[in-house]
Amino acid sequence: MRTLILSRLSQLVLVLLAVTFLSFSAMNVLGDPLFNIIGPLAELDCDAVARGEIGSTSSSLDATRTDCEIVAEVKAEFRLDEPLLKRYVLWLGDSVRGDFGTSFASEGVPVSEILKNKLPASIKLMIYAEVIALSSRPSSVGRVVRRVGHPEFCAWSRAPLCLRSEDRHLPVEL
């Protein structure tokens, strides 16, 4: 039993890592995170500005800094100048510690605060959904048994309700 539990826990960790890596990669590869943060300014080729191929511009966001300075600061702040795998490991570490960053939509409010505010309603909704699912299962199983017939139903479903009549004293899962 202990090896089964350890096996399932290791599978759980591997699946969580795979899902988080795939979603993190999709968010960073399929779209430009820098463009989502600072808009069209992200399309500026700062390397070409540094080589002198195009002229430097002062920012429309801040008159004291150039556009390239703003792009560099945002890249450093959000670790966009790091390789994807390193950013994933840093993001995963922050997430494990409960640091989810700040919300862009809520103007700098920490995401953990937003989650704390929304969690009670989410738990209530989860409980309601579970009650509905548990209350509808016995009636749907009964309909299938009446339609298909008891032996056939037991053959293809492996349902816990498939007990012989002489075994009715055993506990039945619903």
pTM (2 d.p.): 0.62
Helix pair 84-96, 2-29: axis angle to 10 deg: 120
- Residue 173 pLDDT greater than 80, yes or no: no
Q: Distance of CA 105 to CAs 51, 86, 161, Å?
A: 36, 26, 50
DSSP 165: G
Please give the pLDDT value at position 160: 52
Rounded mean pLDDT, 56-78: 73
**Whole-angstrom Cα distance, residue 22 to residue 14?**
12
Distance CA 81, CA 71 (A): 10
Average pLDDT of the chain, as a whole number: 78
Q: What tens digit of pLDDT does each residue of 109-119 get?
A: 999 999 999 99
- pLDDT at position 144: 58
pLDDT of 162 = 52
